[in-house]
Structure 1
Amino acid sequence: MSVSVRADAATGLTAAEVEQRRNDGRTNDVPARASRSVREIVRANVFTRINAILGVLFVLVLAAGSPIDGMFGLLIVANSAVGIIQEVRAKRTLDELAIVGQARPLVRRDGVAAEVPPGEVVQDDLIELGPGDQIVVDGEVLEAELLEVDESLLTGEADPIDKEIGAEVLSGSFVVSGSGAYRATKVGREAYAARLAEEASKFTLVHSELRSGIDRILRFITFLLVPAGLLSIYNQLFSSHQGWQPAVTGMVAALVPMVPEGLVLMTSIAFAVGVVRLGRRQCLVQELPAIEGLARVDVVCADKTGTLTENGMRLADIESLTGDDGGTARTALAALAADDPRPNASVQALAEALPERPEWGSTAVAPFSSATKWSGHSYGEHGNWLLGAPDVLLDPQSSAARRAEQLGAAGLRVLLLARGDRAVDAPGAPGEVTPEALVVLEQKVRPDARETLDYFAKQDVAIKVISGDNAVSVGAVAGSLELPGGDHAVDARTLPDGRDELAGLLDRETTFGRVRPDQKRAMVGALQSRGHTVAMTGDGVNDVLALKDSDIGVAMGSGSPATRAVAQIVLLDNRFATLPYVVGEGRRVIGNIERVSNLFLTKTVYSVLLAFLVGLAGVGSQIFGYDPIAYPFLPRHVTIAAWFTIGIPAFVLSLAPNNERARTGFVARVMKLAIPSGVIIGVATFVAYLIAYAGPDAGEQQRIQAGTTALITLIVIAVWVLAIVARPYVWWKVLLIAASVLAYVLLFSLPSTREFFLLDPSNPRLTAAAFGCGAVGVVLVEIAQWFGRRSSAK
């Protein structure tokens, strides 16, 4: 046999040695792949820039002796509490799912191999390896049987590396073929991958177009806040000739609405709720931006086995090609199945159907390789036996090849059992191949596969079936699901080498068989070169490179640890039908955040503009000698203005269903609504205030009436902007808008609320002027939206 074993490696550590290493702290104590700790979540949600700004303004209002005007301080509590609660819920969901989905190494102790969680590995443990296994800690190879390891995730080197006795293996790499065992030399934070990825392994919101767009907007707003704030401070304290207490409250009223305090909060809530919802469907989101990314996907590359078909197989028939009763073929198949240390689904089906193991001694082994499409064992006088793809091992013109193609066209999986004329590990193997039998396996198409494909078709998401199986068999499955173009699958051995030619073929065709791992990777790159956002699903080692290069990698929970490690999303229940829910959740998150961003940024625009207009008017009063103008609102006014036009509606809209496909250009689209709407609200409110303003010597009632007039104008147009954002209408959106209007009617109608909020709409002339300015503003906002839609359509 071509296996080498060190004498000291046979049994692994004893229980006493394991316990001693635990006591010494030599354990693999790397924190689980999870979100921030609870302490970090609390700190991140409490100590924010927005909370700091609001906190300072809250203290100023309290110092001015007006605690009622400090109601906006509740935003600090609300921002922090809601953010903490939702992120802790998401953290718990992620942590629980991560434990289910993590790689579990096979550790040999006291001569017995058993799966253990990665955190229970100790230094000097003997860890067994097979195809697809992820290497969880650094170590030294002690056993090797044609062992090949892929270190591309660490070094960028795509070619598998042969690992002989004494070779070093690094955590984060994975086994491509062969088997073996290694001794753990570096565990915990000393391991190579742990040092590289301790921070990167957290669930974060980085590299998100949505988040980066919001950050850009916030930076621009911060730039505007400085001059607007300084102008407001100067006007309230020096130009308006007010006492310091009303001047401070007016200044705070001008500054508070400039801060889009709920925008980041709503974004975090939407993402966190998305994680919890998907967690209930056994979907592990390893990186939060994946929710957003999958919403932008327009091509899904799906494997056949394990995705469109169920993982399990059943031996249907063994067709002898030698004219005998097939007894020798059954014996050879039983031997091959029994001697495979890491059987795949096909070999497992053979082992279940042929449990009687013959007393053949294996003298050489060739593990299955995606490149060669066959595996084999040499059994001395019993011959060299191969099990692999008929269309690779047979002459295409032979009767056996035609029979295999005929069976594959019926949707069956067909393997060839054959003899080789040389040892399976010899140079030039398998040499001359002598067919012995066709092994026919049955695969079941997933009952929900058709429904899932129909969903993607309705959502304008193209499906590309990319499989390593026989093209005819793949085509039969795709055709049975009525996938367009699925009945004429392309054999990947005929694919063009050029990226442009490959991209053109991928645009035309949907189904591909006999695809090698490097070709899967090339196909993902070719689709991306045409501007497509590509999601790749897979469960085997041969899918890893394509998963890593795709925009969104989706692994099945039963897949190899290597595929789960590189994927952004893991479907723990192995259901391809879960993917539409993930897409839908991403679209809900992005579409709704875009909606509520319009509301928050409209408020920021009109607040900044109103502060500039009042401030410039105050500066002009000193230059030209006319009466100075104080800020029209108290902090309590801007608080209630935001309650029912932004705060509560935004929260409801952020959690609503939304199936619109995500598009790039988030910032430009948001600003197309927010800037013109905010400018119209700011100017109309200022005009209404000028109409009602009775000068610096006006009485208390006149000042209240002037502020009320301006507030009515602002609310009328802001509610209309809410109505625009809520389109298209469904019953609950109409109810939401009606509830907002009713809430304001009650605030302005009830004597108790009028007194509490200092509202006085009793002057019919001023109230009519307020509604008149509001009506003009509504018309202008609609016109602006009409032009915005026309420019977007071009």
Structure 2
Amino acid sequence: MTLPSVRAPGLTDAEVAQRVAEGKSNDVPERSTRSVAQIIRANVFTRINAILGVLLLIVMTTGSVINGMFGLLIIANSIIGMVQEIRAKQTLDKLAIVGQAKPMVRRQSGSVTLPPHEVVLDDIIELGPGDQVVVDGEVVEDENLEVDESLLTGEADPIAKDVGDEVMSGSFVVSGAGAYRATKVGSEAYAAKLAADASKFTLVKSELRNGINKILRFITYLLVPAGLLTIYTQLFTTHVGWRESVLRMVGALVPMVPEGLVLMTSIAFAVGVVRLGQRQCLVQELPAIEGLARVDVVCADKTGTLTDAGMRVSDVVEVGETGRGESLADALASLAAADARPNASMQALAATFHATPGWIATATAPFKSATKWSGVSYRDHGNWVIGAPDVLLDPGSDAARQAERIGARGLRVLLLGVGSVPVDHPEAPGQITPAALVVLEQKVRPDAHETLNYFAAQNVSVKVISGDNAVSVGAVAEKLGLGGEAMDARELPREPENLAEALDSFTSFGRVRPDQKRAIVHALQSRGHTVAMTGDGVNDVLALKDADIGVAMGAGSPASRAVAQIVLLDNRFATLPHVVGEGRRVIGNIERVANLFLTKTVYSVLLALLVGIECLIAVPIGRDPLLYPFQPIHVTIAAWFTIGIPAFVLSLAPNTERAYPGFVRRVLTSAVPFGLVVGTATFASYLVAYQGRHASWQEQDQASTAALITLLVAALWVLAVVARPYRWWRVALVLASGLAYVVIFSLPVAREKFLLDTSDLTTTSIALGIGVVAAATIEAVWWIRARVLGVRPRVWSSDQSR
């Protein structure tokens, strides 16, 4: 079927204005990112800020302003969180506008590309291969129009659409061309929900976030009993006055709250979005950053990914006689001119053969990935087809063997021939009489080799899957150092288990159909692989959707960009290593940060429990109950350089270590024993130094200082262990943190303001000794844990360049 000679007219400007005024436009939110006001509210009114705020008010009632310094965390958490998320929002929104799929809308003033939200009811929207249907509508023109609705209905096969048929937003055009009238726009159309889901700024549904939530639940279980016990014992058993009791109670409760864990996680994700945005990489779903860090197989399309998307005709080789008087140049020019939405191959033909002879088309057959050919029947000039030689020809023919020899040089080869039946005949193309081999040249991307070397060094395997001839695909793979013979996908087994075995044996695959790309992704996943799929065409959409991470090229089809989690707007395959690097930075650094915060919570809870239990035992037997060792100012300065500042630096620093599953187990097996050691050592040091509740203020400050010294030595060694494997800057970070405390304890003004007293050298020396023993125990735990988990412990990084 051909397009009607009289096209459906578009709306006038007045009709468009009237529909906009009546609210009949496709005015849906372009992105579902939070507004600036929502970001501010979400970062200020948090559960952690509420807890710290209440504790701050309690401390202020005692009149001890210096002990309220932990309240600065409320301001810091809120400002840092707001700034980073607003930056990420601005980056995402700008990139979304650049990468937005814009439909071709026909109006009486002419056909123009418009943002989806400017489409109005009754607009005529033109369609071509790879275009996504942006609103629901009714087909008014069709030329062999086929639409894939599998993302909506699960129907695997493309559906032919005739005039009068309904098209659903969210589906996409597989082949052919046409136009449809918008019948449902805005919130009534399925596209509104699809667009919101596809581009949501979200931190959910990721292993990292789920792991953080599990850790927070674990912390909650610890906080409730420890908090209640602390409140009771410090307020009702110590009898030292309400001000001192309140300060000790708050000093116990504040470090239990993991005030920076969620913040650091959010910052790491947001900074990742900004960094990738600077490389023209649009992250449509934030967990994709972390997902790529776990990828161990990358399925890469050849055309447009490993090679440049553009092509040029390098040669036309005659291979037979058609028996007619038409010239090859006229046939090629006519075929190129007849394609309303040409792909890269037809664009190359049109650029070379642009002098059309004026042949009259009587039937057309658009290119389909499943059939690998297209064609046009002309009045008085025959049925011309162009497509894959190994599909259209007998493999044993001279023309087929010649095409294979040319393809072995990494060139794309198309067969131009004449069919025995019209191209719209059910048995088309019929018997093919070869006329010529059209040789197209594609250049391998200059950065493709370096990118593949990066993946090889990171133990990430690459599978090249392409619709091109297997010999040509193999030749390109050989140039890129992937080696090995390419397999013809027509020989791939259908059974998932057998298919997975074939995938283990071959690296490159040619003549892959769209459904096979999807099956390849499923087969790899069935073997436990985390699969990333890259592509730019409509034939990649299903595989992009089902892969763990879908990566689309910015110049690709609107449908491929819509379903992918990551869009490379600069169309550079070489951007992928940077995406992988950001994912590894986020996961690896958040794991370190989580270790620090959870260790603090564990030792704080343990210390509170030990003090509380001692109080419960002491009261019945008439012994003085213990005061909690620290006032709020003590735990505040303890957190500055053992957790707060180092965690911020570690969360944003480079990190190329590969991510592995088991985030929660690794964090708990580190933080819990570390926290137990720190808490036990701190309690022991306090017991040694404690002089009873009737001791002088100086003696009480000396006991608190001794406990703090032990805690700092042990906590600094936890930082030293968590920072491994060392690079020069990590060593500098640990040394600077330790030096900061030396300065604090050395300055008289700091000792006075922070209620520190090191004048009792015996007590101070014992505290240092217990701290050193605790550090040695933490070191031993680190080595034992590595052996138990079967992990090779690494003290120094092999790469000291960063």
Q: Offset of 1:511 from its aligned partner? A: 0.4
Q: What's the counterpart of residue 328 of structure 1? A: 327
1:739-774 Cα deviation digits (max 9, x unpaired): 111110111111110000000011001001100110
> What secondary structure does 1:519 align onto?
helix
Q: Which moved more, 1:155-164 or 1:224-233?
A: 155-164
Q: C-alpha separation between the residues in 2 aligned to 1:659 and 1:376?
A: 50
Q: Which moved more, 1:319-328 or 1:9-18?
A: 319-328
Q: What's the counterpart of residue 603 of structure 2? A: 606
Letter of the structure 2 residue corresponding to residue 359 of structure 1: G
Match status 1:15 vs 2:13 = yes
> What secondary structure does 1:445 align onto?
coil
1:402-432 Cα deviation digits (max 9, x unpaired): 0100110011110011111111111111111
Q: What's the counterpart of residue 392 of structure 1? A: 391
Letter of the structure 1 residue corresponding to residue 201 of structure 2: F
Q: C-alpha separation between the residues in 2 aligned to 1:155 and 1:88?
A: 37
Q: C-alpha separation between the residues in 2 aligned to 1:721 and 1:686?
A: 17
Q: C-alpha separation between the residues in 2 aligned to 1:323 and 1:26?
A: 58
Q: What's the counterpart of residue 139 of structure 1? A: 137
Q: C-alpha separation between the residues in 2 aligned to 1:158 and 1:770?
A: 71
Q: 1:245 aligns with which of 217, 224, 243?
A: 243
Q: In structure 2, list runs of 5 or more residues that go unmatched.
A: 792-802
Match status 1:623 vs 2:624 = no
Q: 1:761 aligns with which of 750, 758, 761?
A: 758
Contact 2:326 2:381 in 1 (8 A): no
Match status 1:719 vs 2:716 = yes
Contact 2:206 2:287 in 1 (8 A): yes
Q: C-alpha separation between the residues in 1 aligned to 2:728 and 2:453?
A: 28
Q: C-alpha separation between the residues in 1 aligned to 2:126 and 2:682?
A: 73
Q: C-alpha separation between the residues in 2 aligned to 1:343 and 1:351?
A: 9
Q: Offset of 1:91 from its aligned partner? A: 0.4
Mapping 1:127-166, distance limit 5 Å: 127-166=125-164
1:36-68 Cα deviation digits (max 9, x unpaired): 111221121111111111111111111122221
Give aligned-pair identity as a percent. 69
Q: C-alpha separation between the residues in 1 aligned to 2:608 and 2:195?
A: 47
Match status 1:670 vs 2:678 = no
Q: C-alpha separation between the residues in 1 aligned to 2:703 and 2:184?
A: 73
Q: Offset of 1:229 from its aligned partner? A: 0.5
Q: What's the counterpart of residue 353 of structure 2? A: 354
> What secondary structure does 1:317 align onto?
strand
Contact 1:128 1:182 in 2 (8 A): yes
Q: Offset of 1:2 from its aligned partner? A: 3.6
With normalisation by structure 1, the TM-score equals: 0.98
Contact 2:487 2:509 in 1 (8 A): yes
Q: Offset of 1:111 from its aligned partner? A: 6.0
Contact 1:322 1:436 in 2 (8 A): yes
Q: Which moved more, 1:148-157 or 1:710-719?
A: 148-157
Q: Which moved more, 1:77-86 or 1:62-71?
A: 62-71
Contact 2:133 2:168 in 1 (8 A): yes
Match status 1:401 vs 2:395 = no
Q: C-alpha separation between the residues in 1 aligned to 2:438 and 2:199?
A: 43
Mapping 1:99-114, distance limit 5 Å: 99-110=97-108, 112-114=110-112
1:606-630 Cα deviation digits (max 9, x unpaired): 0000000001111111222221101
Q: C-alpha separation between the residues in 2 aligned to 1:252 and 1:599?
A: 21
Q: C-alpha separation between the residues in 2 aligned to 1:683 and 1:625?
A: 24
Q: C-alpha separation between the residues in 1 aligned to 2:199 and 2:561?
A: 13
Contact 1:154 1:193 in 2 (8 A): no
1:681-730 Cα deviation digits (max 9, x unpaired): 00100000000000010000000000000000000000011011111222
Q: Which moved more, 1:426-435 or 1:391-400?
A: 426-435
Letter of the structure 2 residue corresponding to residue 712 of structure 1: I
Letter of the structure 1 residue corresponding to residue 770 of structure 2: C
Q: In structure 1, list runs of 5 or more residues that go unmatched.
A: none
Q: Give the count of matched residue pairs.
A: 790
Contact 2:30 2:196 in 1 (8 A): no
Q: Offset of 1:350 from its aligned partner? A: 0.4
Q: Offset of 1:4 from its aligned partner? A: 5.0
Q: What's the counterpart of residue 185 of structure 2? A: 187
Q: What's the counterpart of residue 125 of structure 1? A: 123
Match status 1:255 vs 2:253 = yes
Contact 2:552 2:560 in 1 (8 A): yes
Contact 1:302 1:538 in 2 (8 A): yes
- Structure 1 residue ranges, 4+ long, deviating more than 3 angstroms after superposition: 1-5, 195-201, 323-327
> What secondary structure does 2:620 align onto?
helix
Q: C-alpha separation between the residues in 2 aligned to 1:623 and 1:465?
A: 75
Contact 2:518 2:542 in 1 (8 A): yes
Match status 1:318 vs 2:280 = no
Contact 1:253 1:633 in 2 (8 A): yes
Mapping 1:434-513, distance limit 5 Å: 434-485=433-484, 488-513=485-510
Q: C-alpha separation between the residues in 1 aligned to 2:80 and 2:106?
A: 47
Q: C-alpha separation between the residues in 2 aligned to 1:34 and 1:576?
A: 28
Q: C-alpha separation between the residues in 2 aligned to 1:4 and 1:151?
A: 25
Q: What's the counterpart of residue 433 of structure 1? A: 432
Match status 1:771 vs 2:794 = no
Contact 1:34 1:94 in 2 (8 A): no
Q: C-alpha separation between the residues in 2 aligned to 1:734 and 1:202?
A: 39
Q: C-alpha separation between the residues in 1 aligned to 2:242 and 2:220?
A: 26
Q: What's the counterpart of residue 687 of structure 1? A: 684
Contact 1:318 1:326 in 2 (8 A): no
Contact 1:13 1:124 in 2 (8 A): yes
Q: 1:597 aligns with which of 585, 594, 597?
A: 594
Contact 1:11 1:111 in 2 (8 A): no
Q: Which moved more, 1:12-21 or 1:344-353?
A: 12-21
Q: C-alpha separation between the residues in 2 aligned to 1:509 and 1:523?
A: 12
Q: What's the counterpart of residue 795 of structure 2? A: none
Letter of the structure 2 residue corresponding to residue 206 of structure 1: V
Q: C-alpha separation between the residues in 2 aligned to 1:639 and 1:293?
A: 36
> What secondary structure does 1:570 align onto?
strand
Q: C-alpha separation between the residues in 2 aligned to 1:770 and 1:737?
A: 20
Q: What's the counterpart of residue 647 of structure 2? A: 650
1:245-297 Cα deviation digits (max 9, x unpaired): 11111111101100111010000000000000000100000000000000000
Match status 1:547 vs 2:569 = no
- Root mean square deviation, CA, Å: 1.4
Letter of the structure 1 residue corresponding to residue 88 of structure 2: A
Q: Offset of 1:33 from its aligned partner? A: 2.5
Letter of the structure 2 residue corresponding to residue 369 of structure 1: K
Q: What's the counterpart of residue 732 of structure 1? A: 729
Contact 1:618 1:629 in 2 (8 A): yes
Match status 1:41 vs 2:30 = no
Q: What's the counterpart of residue 799 of structure 2? A: none
Q: What's the counterpart of residue 203 of structure 1? A: 201
Q: C-alpha separation between the residues in 2 aligned to 1:437 and 1:74?
A: 77
Q: C-alpha separation between the residues in 1 aligned to 2:579 and 2:198?
A: 23
Q: What's the counterpart of residue 285 of structure 1? A: 283
> What secondary structure does 1:300 align onto?
strand
Contact 1:587 1:662 in 2 (8 A): yes
Letter of the structure 1 residue corresponding to residue 428 of structure 2: A
Q: 1:584 aligns with which of 574, 581, 591?
A: 581
Q: Which moved more, 1:475-484 or 1:291-300?
A: 475-484
1:169-205 Cα deviation digits (max 9, x unpaired): 1111111111110111111112123146646641211
Q: Offset of 1:327 from its aligned partner? A: 6.1
Q: What's the counterpart of residue 533 of structure 1? A: 530
Contact 1:106 1:128 in 2 (8 A): yes
Distance 1:326 1:261, change over 3 A: farther
Contact 2:321 2:435 in 1 (8 A): no
1:458-477 Cα deviation digits (max 9, x unpaired): 00000000000000000111
Match status 1:56 vs 2:54 = yes
Letter of the structure 1 residue corresponding to residue 397 of structure 2: S
Match status 1:70 vs 2:68 = yes
Letter of the structure 2 residue corresponding to residue 237 of structure 1: L
Q: What's the counterpart of residue 797 of structure 2? A: none
Q: C-alpha separation between the residues in 2 aligned to 1:252 and 1:387?
A: 79
Distance 1:195 1:510, change over 3 A: closer
